[in-house]
Structure formats: C-alpha cells, structure tokens
Amino acid sequence: MYTIVTGAAGFIGSNLVKALNARGVGDIIAVDNLTRGDKFRNLADCEIADYLDKKELVDMLAAGDLDGAVEAVLHQGACSDTMEQDGRYMMDNNYRYSLELLDFCLDQDVSFLYASSASVYGGGRVFRESREFEAPLNVYGYSKFLFDQVVRRRLAQTDFSAQVAGFRYFNVYGPRESHKGRMASVAFHFFNQYRAEGRVKLFEGCDGYGHGEQRRDFVFIDDVVGVNLHFLDSGASGIYNVGTGCAQSFNDVAVATVNACRAAAGQAPLSLAELQAAGAIEYIAFPEALKGKYQSYTEADVSLLREAGYEAPFATVEEGVARYVQERLKA
C-alpha cells in the first residue's frame, strides 16, 4: 500500500517524506511539479517508490489505476505565493486539485491530511477555527478558505468513514525551504543577509506596530511534521491550527538569527538594542504592494489541536532558529 505525498519536493512535503522514511515507510508516491528542477535536491536523501507529476496523478486516479493501493494521502501541494494575481491558476491548483484528491480519498476510505493556511483569517485578531473569524485578504487565502468550507460540509455528513484532517499552518520555517526564493521564511532571509552583509533588514512599523514589531506565530518545521504524524496515527478528523500559540516579533527572529550565527563563531549574544546600535539590524520602508494585504499579527488558538490529543511542546523562535541556523551552516 502506498502513501501519497503531494508537494513532495517542496518544503513541508519533503520534510514529511524524510520523517516517513525514518519510520520505515518507503512505499511513497512523491507528487510534485519539477518545472523548477532544483527542487529535486529536497528528495535526494529520501526513499520513494515513484515520482509523478500532478497531472499524471490526476489521470491515474480518474482511470482507477490506484484503486485499493493507497492507505493515506498527505496533500501539501499548492501554489503558496501570496502575491500571485492569477486567480484562475490559483483556484485550479489549490482548490480544484484538492477536491479531486478529497473525492478519491472519501471513495476509497483513505486518510486525507491536507495543508490549509492561517491566511484564511486575513487581517483579523482572532485565530480560531470558526467561520466568523475567517476573511482572507488575497486569492491564495481564498483558495484555502474555500476548500476548508467544502471539508466542513463533508465532515458534517455521516455517510463515510475516511479520515479528513486539515492543518492551518502559521509561519513555518526550517530546513528544505531554499527553493522557495522570496517566499522562503524570514529566518531563511535573515540568515542569508547576515552571512552576506553582516546585517539583516526588517520592515519599518505599520498597522500601529513599531519597527520590526509586527508579530507572527512562527512555527518550526519539525513541529509541523510532528502534528501530521500524530494525526496519521490517531485517525482524528477536523480542521486545526498549527502554530505555537505564542506570537513573536520579527525583531525576535532577527535577534535569534544573528545570535545563533554569533554563537557558531564563538561570539557572545547581543540584545536588540546592541544589534541596532552596531548596525546589524536595520529597517526599510514598508512595501506599498503589501499595504492592505499583510497580516501584521497572527497567533494560533491551539485549543482544538490540544483537545485532539496533540500534547508535544512547540519550539520557541529562539530554540527553532538556533537549530535552523546550525543546519544552514552545514549546507
């Protein structure tokens, strides 16, 4: 029996494949679009049974070629560019494709775990898995929101027994995201900036926040993987936030990144004020293109996640970034 991982050569997908391998799972069908061929590196140290392009997978499902041969689908494949303006492409790739996979899993009684996004909450201040708090700011967020609504309707039905679990990822960072370019995490960009220039650049204040004080729920990739594996084991269904439950500032990420680099060089840590004074942290104008489309604050309400039995602690920015920098320095 196969486990299908879509977006398998991407950031979260490849980390899931690696974690499944660590469990002894090798019968994995990796699905991804390798138009960006450099993404293959994320799978080079992983064991898979086969690779399929998205279209190949859809055709095989429609033809019944995988009927009775799949035990779980971990659907991470999506266009995650929040600045993408082509709504037709976004809806086809993120919404329609997800529907086809959901229909297959419900028909085959196969576990379906999929990536949603905290972007469904838009500019709100309450991040709880309930319709009244959801108001996406862009078509990416809308594509995720719309699929979540379908899942809610399906979960309200009682005529199927398959597991369906959606995960609203907050700001995920960690190894295997290098291919994402400008869409990679701020920790990734801060590391590269500091190594190249000896400084990191943050946005000036906006939405009532001071310079670098916009706050997000930054979640380390190992914790995201842990949540997925927990639900794969438990069989629980529902839609869940996946974040630490504790917002931290971009300044916190910058300080953690610089100090992790300094520690690797045998240097003592410095405070935010000391790093600002030394020119290691500076602020640039907030981009016009992001105004009105930017989440200046996110903080996951993880009550439902905990109620579903996930009890493991989440790494703080200081802990997760330190581990990430150690990995980056080995690259």
Give me the catalytic one of 18, 180, 201, 293: 180
Query: Phi then psi for 288, rounded to 5 degrees?
Result: -60, -35
Q: Is 142 a catalytic residue?
A: no
Query: Which neighbouring-strand residues pair with 173?
Result: 220
Q: Are 58 and 84 in contact (CB under 8 A)?
A: no
Q: How far is CA 196 from CA 174, 200, 261, in A?
A: 19, 10, 12
Give me the catalytic one of 140, 173, 310, 324: 140
Helices 139-155 & 97-108 angle (0-180, nearest 10): 20
The H or E element that residue 282 is part of is strand 281-284
Distance CA 47, CA 26 (A): 6
Q: Is 51 a catalytic residue?
A: no
CA angle at 231 for the pair 228 and 233, rounded to the nearest 5°: 110
Provide the annotated active-site residues. 140, 180
